[in-house]
Every structure is written in C-alpha cells, then in structure tokens.
Amino acid sequence: MKKVVKERKDIVFYIKLVPLVKIHPQAYEKAKAIVCENSMKLLEDAYEKRPLPAAKCSGSSVDKNLELVKKLGINSLPTMVLPDGKIIKGFRDSLTIIRLIDNK
C-alpha cells in the first residue's frame, strides 16, 4: 500500500483491522489499541511484533469490522474491496493493485 500511495496520490486506502483471534490470541486487543490511537505507527509496530500499549478506549470499531467482514462474506486476509465493489482476496503487489483500481 505504501508503494501505491507513493506512486499515486489519487489512491487512498481505508484499513479495517480484523483480528484473527483463533490464530493470534492477542490480535483483538492489539487491533483495539491501534484503532483507539488511530496510529499507523502502532500498526507498523504490530507487524514488526513489537509490544503495543493497552487500548485506551472502549470503542466498538473492531467489533463493527468483524461484523462487516462476516456480512460481506470475507473469510481470508488480506482482502481489498475495490471502488467498484469487487472483492480481491490475498496479497497483491503495488502494480497489480494499481491495475485493479484502474480496471486494466
């Protein structure tokens, strides 16, 4: 995503954290901490397996994300929902993402 945004200033990503607690038992609390702080740094820290602070809010955003993926039938991560509503499952390189967004 960073490569796409660096290359294309007209493309924006909205990240919805969906913790996979069966695989990663602490994922829910980590996702909540990231969302509460609205922090890309904490997201990057989580991917680098650095410790995260406890969540400082009691919001329901993570729960709403879990409900949304269930409603949309998303069962694998990462998943992208393109502007036209098409759902793309799995990792894609930056060039492929740009082509998908541009419908090419």
Question: pLDDT per residue over 6-50, tens digit each?
Answer: 999 999 999 999 999 888 899 999 999 999 999 999 999 999 999
* Spatial separation of the C-alpha atoms in residues 19 and 77, rounded to whole Å: 10
* Spatial separation of the C-alpha atoms in residues 32 and 29, rounded to whole Å: 5
CATH of domain 2-101: 3.40.30.10
Phi-psi region of 103 (alpha: psi -120 to 50; beta: other; left: phi over 0): left
Domain ranges (residues) in the chain? 2-101
Dihedral angle over CA of 47, 52, 55, 61, nearest 10: 0
Closest of 81, 5, 85, 74 to residue 40, by C-alpha: 5
Question: pLDDT per residue over 66-95, tens digit each?
Answer: 999 999 999 888 999 998 899 999 999 999
Note the pTM of the prediction, 2 decimals. 0.82
Closest of 75, 102, 73 to residue 94, by C-alpha: 102
